[in-house]
Structure 1
Amino acid sequence: MAGMRLVRALVLGAGSVGGLSGAAYGLLNGQSRRARSMIGKATGLPLNADGVYLPDGTGPVTDEPHDALTLAVLGDSLAAGLGAETEDRLPSVHLARGLAEEADRPVRLTTHAISGSRTSDLDEQVDVALISPPDLALVIVGGNDVTSRMRVGTSAELLAAQVGRLARAGTTVVVGTCPDLDAITPIPQPLRAIASHWGLALARAQRRELDRIGVRSVSLAALVSPEFRHRADELFSGDRFHPNGAGYELAASVLLGPLCDAAGLTRGWEPLPA
């Protein structure tokens, strides 16, 4: 997600959709300028540590075991791990190692996620993933749909369509729904409340569409965002918008159970409402 784009889009959206008075619009516009000055700019590309991870925790290795479980990660900057300090702290690496340990077999990780992606961009990532359909896929997307003011229903329908393509190819999919943007504390109130409202509405719509097609979802808003609100100094990266390594480790700890469960492994999981 892009912090600068988010605050600008929220003000425009609130003004056009909510029918704000001139005074209220001026307040939010002033808050957006303040937020843009407080949210740092992300620099560089996300790290990448694709490869094979072994049950003993080593990896990535160059050997290609014949019995590897294949894991693909698709979506936006949160899926790609923008903000992680080292490759070892990427969420995908935590998940690949956890799956390898739980399954007692190698896991081959492939990352298709691209920072800045919206749900409407997922089709290209899915096209590439389906060249060799993975056993398991994790999708995290939606935050950038808020910045672009995409209709909640349209966004959720697009997600279901692309996830359905993966499922029909034999891939088991788990989706992390849109987080609660209320955790981004540099965005002042009431602007942050607008962001939170849109993000939570999108998460609910995503969950409804995924339930309809029988795909598992994990509520990042319920399971991860509260910790980011309470421990912002510990869990956000220097841009104050994306997680750092500790934040991604927390997110991975929440996602690992559903992924193991989806893969038919032993780790149990009980879903929480979106």
Structure 2
Amino acid sequence: MSRASRVAAAAAYGGGGVGVAGVLAAILLLGQARLARRTIPLAEAPPPRCDGRYGTEYDGVPLRLAMLGDSSAAGYGVDRPRDTPGALLAAGLAERLHWPVEVRSVAVVGSTSAGLVPQRELALAWRPDVAVILVGANDVTHRIRVPLAVGHLAQTVRLLHAEGAEVVVGTCPDLGTIRPIQPPLRWLARQWSRDMAAAQTIGVVEAGGATVSLGDLLGPEFAASPETMFAWDRFHPSATGYLAATAAMLPTVVAAAGGAADARPVPARGEGVRSLAQAAVEAVDQAGTEVSGAEVAGQERGPAGRWADLRHRLRTRIERPQDPVNPAGVRVE
């Protein structure tokens, strides 16, 4: 069975049983996991709220952007609203579209994919135009089965899409880049993260969304300057780290919102249409890759299943990060 086929099977059914070696490895790794949890501090306070309006210098009915997911979507690790992913994406959208953007974040620190169920109810009631989801790391650390986690994510994307929202998902980051996690747990965390990210890609695209692989996107930069790229807890990104991650996601979010000027893909070898399972595998291998649904001769599916378009878009610098206007005054209908 090819790697792409194994990923597709894992997304739908899971990875099968755990052998004796796997059980012994898990027992040996429990001590490391406990040590990592003691090394990584618990959240001391909620992240700053990014709810509010951006691009107030522009006229028009604001585009609504909802943020769902875990601490990476909420922006845990920074002190100012302007440094959260929601604020950075909203400021970038306003700059590119020359249009006001209104943000509502329902993300919860510590959330797994199951936590998307109450979050999506809040988001659906608000009726966003675009929804961005960042989730998966806590599913990996809690060893939640991939099909269960991906099922919650895919259903969230499906429901949002059915209500008219364009959905972009930043797939599970590579937990092998986190310093408090030591080998051999670090090696397993890397593989588990990659498996989760590939399965997320398949589930999200099948449900009508698009993905951007985060993977080890920040790994080299974090390794070169951990004091700059990591927050105080050495686990969550700093303001600089979030800026790097959102720069990779922004072109896809702009395209989802209807923009095109700065969202044209970079011509690169290996881009184009292939099976979704193959695209998911390739995206995991190259962080910053966008995967979305495609058609071939008017058909969404081929011999290997769903068609997908794989792209490497130009990363977009966010020129003017800003705090929201009236962050407590978001209108909910």
* TM-score between both structures, scaled by the size of structure 1: 0.84
Q: Secondary structure at the match of 1:114?
A: coil
CA offsets, 1:49-68, max 9 Å, x none?
A: 211111659xxxxxxx7511
Residues 224 and 254, structure 1, Cα contact 8 Å, conserved in 2: no
Counterpart of 2:246 (choices 244, 252, 255) is: 252
Q: Distance in 2 between matches of 1:180 and 1:205?
A: 14
Aligned to 2:283: 273
Query: 5+ unaligned residues in a row in structure 2: which ranges?
Result: 1-16, 266-270, 272-281, 285-333
Q: What is the one-letter code of the residue matched to 1:273?
A: A
Following superposition of structure 1 onto structure 2, how do residues 159-198 of structure 1 map, counting pairs within 5 Å? 159-198=153-192
- State the shift of 1:130 in Å: 1.0
Q: Distance in 1 between matches of 2:110 and 2:209?
A: 24
Following superposition of structure 1 onto structure 2, how do residues 221-260 of structure 1 map, counting pairs within 5 Å? 221-260=215-254
Residues 128 and 165, structure 2, Cα contact 8 Å, conserved in 1: yes
Q: Distance in 2 between matches of 1:263 and 1:236?
A: 30
Q: Secondary structure at the match of 1:130?
A: helix
Alignment pair present for 1:132 and 2:142 = no
CA offsets, 1:70-128, max 9 Å, x none?
A: 10100000000000122221111111111011110110011010111111111111111
Instruction: Rate the CA distance shift 1:230–1:211 in 2: closer, same or farther, 3 A.
Output: farther
Q: Distance in 2 between matches of 1:219 and 1:38?
A: 27
- State the shift of 1:229 in Å: 3.9
Q: Distance in 2 between matches of 1:233 and 1:132?
A: 38
Q: Secondary structure at the match of 1:173?
A: strand
- State the shift of 1:21 in Å: 8.6
Q: Distance in 1 between matches of 2:197 and 2:23?
A: 31
Residues 40 and 238, structure 1, Cα contact 8 Å, conserved in 2: no
CA offsets, 1:211-241, max 9 Å, x none?
A: 2233110001053444334432221111111
Q: Secondary structure at the match of 1:237?
A: coil
CA offsets, 1:139-195, max 9 Å, x none?
A: 011111112221112211221111110000000110000000011011110011111
Aligned to 2:50: 49
Q: Distance in 1 between matches of 2:57 and 2:171?
A: 31
Instruction: Rate the CA distance shift 1:226–1:19 in 2: closer, same or farther, 3 A.
Output: farther
Greater alpha carbon shift after TM alignment, 81-90 vs 225-234: 225-234
Q: Secondary structure at the match of 1:221?
A: coil
- State the shift of 1:36 in Å: 3.6
Instruction: Rate the CA distance shift 1:114–1:91 in 2: closer, same or farther, 3 A.
Output: same
Q: Secondary structure at the match of 2:215?
A: helix
Residues 60 and 100, structure 2, Cα contact 8 Å, conserved in 1: no
Aligned to 2:7: none
Aligned to 1:115: 109
Q: What is the one-letter code of the residue matched to 2:89?
A: L
Instruction: Rate the CA distance shift 1:222–1:55 in 2: closer, same or farther, 3 A.
Output: farther
Aligned to 1:149: 143
- State the shift of 1:20 in Å: 4.3
Q: Distance in 2 between matches of 1:21 and 1:95?
A: 41
Residues 179 and 225, structure 1, Cα contact 8 Å, conserved in 2: no
Q: Distance in 2 between matches of 1:35 and 1:207?
A: 28
Residues 74 and 122, structure 1, Cα contact 8 Å, conserved in 2: yes
Q: Distance in 1 between matches of 2:264 and 2:146?
A: 28
Q: Distance in 1 between matches of 2:22 and 2:87?
A: 48
In the alignment of these two chains, the number of paired residues is 252
Q: Secondary structure at the match of 2:228?
A: helix
Aligned to 1:19: 20
Instruction: Rate the CA distance shift 1:169–1:237 in 2: closer, same or farther, 3 A.
Output: same
